[in-house]
């Protein structure tokens, strides 16, 4: 395996960018109400799960940034455009495919998949851009 140097500051910024996007994406002003309706949960139910979900999101964002940093560096992506493109391909090949089939198997609303996967696609594109462009 190749020794890949990771810019830890870029990794942390990429993880924070994902979390900030999520805070905006799932805010009451943007997509909270449609997401709650599609998920079939109430705001009160969401709030009771929020502390655990937030911890999982912090850890998951850091792990995602760590793995994506390795993939971006291994692929040789060194610009915003290539990093964003690589983030998109990562979303398409790993997240979109697996979550779409799970959505169909679980009889979950396509609207829920669209809301969540649009967020994941944009988040990975932003993260990829940050990780590729930041030396």
The CA distance from 124 to 85, in Å, is 9
Instruction: Report pLDDT digits (tens) over 64-100.
Output: 999 999 999 999 999 999 999 999 999 999 999 999 9
Residue-range domain boundaries for the chain: 8-133
Average pLDDT, the chain: 96
3-class secondary structure, 18:
helix
Beta carbons within 8 Å of 17's beta carbon, 6+ residues apart: 123, 126, 127, 130
Q: Does the pLDDT value for residue 1 go beyond 90?
A: no
Q: What is the pTM of this model?
A: 0.94
For residue 7, what pLDDT band results from cuts at 50, 70 and 90? very high
> Percentage of the chain surpassing pLDDT 70?
99
Report yes or no: 14 and 135 within 8 Å, Cβ to Cβ. no
- Residue 125: per-residue pLDDT: 98
Beta carbons within 8 Å of 31's beta carbon, 6+ residues apart: 25, 115
């Amino acid at each position: 395996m190749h020794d890949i140097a990771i810019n830890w500051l870029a990794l942390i910024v990429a993880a924070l960018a994902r979390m900030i996007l999520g805070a905006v994406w799932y805010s009451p002003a943007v997509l909270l109400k449609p997401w709650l309706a599609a998920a079939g949960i109430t705001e009160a139910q969401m709030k009771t799960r929020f502390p655990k979900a937030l911890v999982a999101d912090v850890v998951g964002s850091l792990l995602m940034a760590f793995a994506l940093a390795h993939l971006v560096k291994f692929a040789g992506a060194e610009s915003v455009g290539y990093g964003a493109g690589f983030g998109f391909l990562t979303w398409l090949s790993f997240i979109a495919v697996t979550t779409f089939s799970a959505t169909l198997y679980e009889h979950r609303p396509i609207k829920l998949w669209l809301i969540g996967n649009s967020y994941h696609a944009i988040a990975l594109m932003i993260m990829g851009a940050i990780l590729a462009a930041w030396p």
